[in-house]
Structure 1
Amino acid sequence: MPEQPYIQGNGEFGLEVVGESFYREEIAAVAQNRADERAWVYCTATLVPEDTNPHDTEAVGVFIAGSKVGHLSREHARIYRGLTWARNPSSSPALVDAVITNGMHIGGKAYSYTVELDLPSSPALASALPIKYPSPIRRNGEPKLKEKDGKWSAVVWLPARRHELHKHMECMSWTTENWDTVNVYVLNRQGIGLGFKLLGTPKPFWLSTFGETEPQISLDLIEPRVGLLSLQPD
């Protein structure tokens, strides 16, 4: 039996799976996040060529923990078929690192999960390497701020890759009268709108800690998609 190839990534998790909304229950079974918290789970996904798919014989299904969670897009299915199985058509399905995020179920609304794969544009197959996530590693997608020496900080998931963020990774807080949280966002590359949500904190905690004045907010990369968010009362 051929050895199962393992595709080495670069930590950017730059390829989003499509069709996740059709597999919410299957993804939730892996994520196991609380309804009021976003998921943040590292795991291993299996890419399975679906030669008999009635809609697209070039399709590539994505499976996690034995359950289907979506597909590669038509474009990426063809790219990775050429890069992976064309080299060894008899090989078994390929493994790749994956991350599951989002997926809150709050206020009567179920938000979709996001499944992203650590697939670089030129994958290297390395069957001999140990799998990075043999079992899911679950982190809190809604991390709590912790105080040290007058500064508050939290390790956060970055919803976008570095080149999609503001060049200085500028951040801001935002809330409305109707929200019960104050959220912190990192601006997008264009600096338009709120950008990408990093963290939400209960409004009473925020006001008692930072008051009505915007704190000094900074974001530093720890990993390609993980940052250290720091807030200093002004």
Structure 2
Amino acid sequence: MTPDWQAKAEAFTAAVGDVEAMVATAEATTDLAHEDAIRLKRSTEGIVEAVDGLISRLKQNGADPNFTWTLASLLRTLRSADRRAAKLVRQASDTINGVAGAQVEAAPAPAKARAPRRPWFPGRLGDFPGKPRLAGDGAYGLEVVVEAFSQDVLDALFGPRTNEMGGGDTFCVGELLPEDRDIYSAGAVAVYVSSLKVGSLSRDDARHFREAAARAGIAGQSVDVDLLVTKGWRRRDGEEGPYRVSLDARLPFEFGSRSDRGAQTA
């Protein structure tokens, strides 16, 4: 396996390890909410489908067979994690049904007007009540640095490139995670979607983020964030454009949580 493919294999192996850890954490949670169990299942199911599709495309394009074999092995691990997530959904459903059976049925709440739907990726398990969350202004103006290997990850998660420039935007919940053991960039802050790394904050943005998190008392913690992923494109002449990822971030960085949706300036 060439060094380039080896680096990609190591990145996918680490990401699958994160998925397994995410499922194990959910299994260890005695009062896992039904909505969080469903979110986890959607996440694992989406990753399985994405990696399965990526393997098919790699075989068609003549990719390194050792890398394809590694992905196939990781896919078996992912399917096992997906089955465990399905079990958690069933357990959470049984809990809800047991509680509901003992309660008087409540009157239906009045219907609320629905906001226009946007393409939305299921995201990841996080976004627990009380978990730190980056406050945004709705502009999605903070660009993420997307490395070359992360282009493959985005392809697997959000589908192949389109035939036109600006061929599709998808909104999702991601995670900002300080990476103190990054040997290439001290003080790095990685951006994850469904436990797969899709990029990093720029060096200056990472420094400001870490400083703000330290002042807010959440240094070293993962922080949920709303993301906008713009698909890459491929023209008939073979020219390609990259996938792009942007954060919904209010500057200077502010933090809140899902439970209060308020923000504290740091």
TM-score (norm 2): 0.44
Which is helix-richer, 1 or 2?
2
| Structure with a larger share of its residues in strand | 1
